[in-house]
Structure 1
Amino acid sequence: MRESQLGELTVSSLGLGCMGMSQSYGVQNDEAESIATVHAAIDAGCTFIDTADVYGDGANEELVGRALAGRRDQAVLATKFGFKRAQPSDSMPNVVDGSPEYSRVALDASLRRLGVEHIDLWYLHRRDPNVPIEETVGAMAEAVQAGKVRYLGLSEVSGDTLRAAHAVHPISAVQSEWSLWTRDPETGILPTLRELGVGFVPFSPLGRGFLTGQIKSPADFEPDDMRREMPRFTGENFQKNLDLVEKVRELAAARGVTAGQLALAWLLAQGNDVAPIPGTKRRKYLAENLGAVDVELTAAELAALDAAFPPDAVAGDRYNAGGMSMVGK
Structure 2
Amino acid sequence: MLRFSALLLALLLPTMVNASSVRLKDLVEFDGVRGNDLVGYGLVVGLNGTGDGLRNSPFTEEMMVNILERLGVNVGGEEFRPKNVAAVLVTAALPAFSRTGSKVDVTVSAIGDAKSLLGGTLIMTPLNAADGDVYVVAQGTVIAGGIAAEGEAARVVHGVPTAGIVPAGGRVEREVDFEFSQLSSLRMALRTPDFTTAEKIELAINSTLGRSVALMLDAGTVELDVDATGLRSAAHVLSRIENIVIEPERRARVVVDQRSGTIVMDENVRISRVAVAQGNLTLTIEEAPVVVQPNPFSEGETVVVPRTAAAIDEEPGIGLAEISPGTTLKDVISGLNALGVTPLDMIDILKSIKAAGALHAEFIVQ
Q: Shared topology, TM-score over 0.5?
A: no
Q: If the length of structure 1 is used for normalisation, what is the TM-score?
A: 0.23
Q: If the length of structure 2 is used for normalisation, what is the TM-score?
A: 0.21
| Higher relative helix content | 1
